[in-house]
Amino acid sequence: MTIDWEQLHIAAFGMIEKAYAPYSNFPVGVAALVDDGRIVVGCNVENASYGLTLCAECGLVSSLLASGGGRLVAVYCVDAKGDALMPCGRCRQLLFEHGGPQLQVYMPTGIQSMSEILPGAFGPERLPRSVNLESSP
Ligand code: THU
């Protein structure tokens, strides 16, 4: 399906003002295209107990499930200047779970697939009683 990166960038940048980042002063916004065509978004949410910070991608994945699920096709994460931001290591794993190796990620260095930015990923198919993602509700 066609990926409108400009549309994703606008949606991600729009989340910057929603971010709650009083400790780092580093707001992050993210938007993703879902395989049914809808757009889901997220922003980082920090906490006085610093280690409990939720990255923007955490919110994105919650939003994906809360709005009906599906598979992530393309993700665009930005900083306060609107520049592309690479997802942190933990978030690459989160995104991999819901987009798989084909997921397209807008990195500062250009568009890359998840298989390139998280090679050799551990995924649900490695578990003996792995769920069938195609038939999951
Ligand atoms: N952050 C994200 O939201 N996503 C990332 O992939 C990288 C880091 C947030 C977490 C924290 O609130 C702030 O950026 C500074 O690390």
Per-residue pLDDT of 31-61, as tens digits, reads 999 999 999 999 999 999 999 999 999 999 9
Task: Give distance in angstroms: CA of 56 to centre of ligand 1.
Answer: 7
Please tell me the predicted confidence (pLDDT) of residue 47.
98
Rounded CA gap, 113 and 53, in Å?
26
Exactly one of 57, 97, 116, 134 is catalytic; which is it? 57
pLDDT tens per residue, range 102-132: 999 999 999 999 999 999 999 999 999 755 5
pLDDT digits (tens, 9 = 90+) for 18-36: 999 999 999 999 999 999 9
Q: 46 CB under 6 A from ligand 1?
A: yes
Q: Could you identify the atom of ligand 1 that is nearest to the CA of residue 90?
A: 6
57 an active-site residue? yes
Residue 127 identity (one-letter amino acid): L
pLDDT in tens, 92-104: 999 999 999 999 9
For the chain, the farthest-separated pair of C-alpha atoms sits apart, in whole angstroms, at 44
Best of 26, 61, 92 for a ligand 1 pocket test (most atoms within 8 Å of beta carbon): 26
Most informative mutation of 53, 60, 62 for ligand 1 (most atoms within 8 A of CB): 53
Give the per-residue pLDDT at 135.
Answer: 53
- Comparing CA positions, the residue from 34, 38, 36, 24 lying closest to residue 85 is 24
Residue ranges with strand state E in 16-120: 29-34, 39-43, 72-78, 104-107, 110-113
